[in-house]
Chain A
Amino acid sequence: MVARRIEKEQKIETPRAAWLVGLAAWAIPGAGHFIQKRWLRGALAGGAVWIVFLTGLWLGGHLYAVSGGQQGFGALLQLLPMIANVGSGLPYVFCWIANIGFAEHAQIVTYEYGNTFLLVAGLLNYLVMLDAFDIAAGRKR
């Protein structure tokens, strides 16, 4: 009885706005915090993601995408880094539309650095997105 009551009390519904904040945070790095007027947090976290992403492109990094030409294991190998890249949000979508950063430049010395920066930019934005979501849901201050 008591355990059930505690379980019921612990189920806090997530407000709808939190999902929208999460979406905005994914789309534009830092936007999720800005919407909630967390200016410094948004500037630092969003700024860091933007810098990592742009530096990755500048260093000659390569963005991943699963194209129709690959099948089976080859497509799977592209899928995981693509999921990391997609975390960057609209900057990734913009690069995809404009075809920026999808060509491989393995001859550049900083190519691997660029790749790592681009992958980590997406992963960091997932973290920033979750932080903004938690704040909007009231789970974090």
Chain B
Amino acid sequence: MKHVFWMSVFAALTAVVFGIAAKGTDRQRLIYGLKVFGEFLGIALLLGWILYFIPFR
């Protein structure tokens, strides 16, 4: 759970900066920031599950 928490904190703070640095209206940038946050979490969870099924040992 600790890993998911820090990953979410990372995704949220990075998404804030990405949203601010983006071009467009405030609404467009807010949507972009939320999209970035969702993409960070979604891709991380997807990769986590893919790696879970790959036997490394």
Q: Note whether A and B form a binding pair.
A: yes
Q: Which residues of A contact B (CB under 8 A)?
A: 41, 44-45, 48-49, 51-52, 55, 59, 109-110, 113, 116-117, 120, 124, 127-128, 130-131, 140
Cα A45 to Cα B9 in complex, Å, equals 15
Bound complex: CA of A116 vs CA of B9, how far in Å? 12
In the complex, chain B residues whose CB is within 8 Å of the CB of A109: 2
CB within 8 Å of A: which residues of B?
A: 2, 6, 9-10, 13-14, 16-18, 20-21, 23
Q: Which residue of A lies closest to B12 (CB)?
A: A48
In the bound complex, residues from chain A placing their C-beta under 8 Å from that of B16 are 44-45, 48
Which 6 A-B residue pairs are closest in the complex by CB-CB distance? A48-B13, A48-B16, A124-B17, A45-B20, A131-B21, A127-B21
For B9, the closest partner residue in chain A by CB is A55
Interface of A: prevailing SS: helix
Report whether B13 and A52 are in contact in the complex, using a CB–CB cutoff of 8 Å: yes
In whole angstroms, how far apart are the Cα atoms of A130 and B6 in the complex? 27
Which residues does chain A contribute within 8 Å of B17, judged by CB atoms?
45, 48-49, 124, 127-128
For the complex, give the distance between the alpha carbons of A140 and B24 in Å. Answer: 10
Some 11 contacts from A to B, beta carbons below 8 A apart, are A48-B14, A48-B17, A51-B13, A52-B10, A55-B9, A109-B2, A117-B10, A120-B14, A127-B21, A128-B17, A128-B20
Smallest distance from the beta carbon of B48 to chain A beta carbons, Å? 15
Instruction: Compute how far the CA of A93 lies from the CA of B9 in the bound complex, rounded to whole angstroms.
Output: 25
| CA distance in complex: A130, B21 (Å) | 8
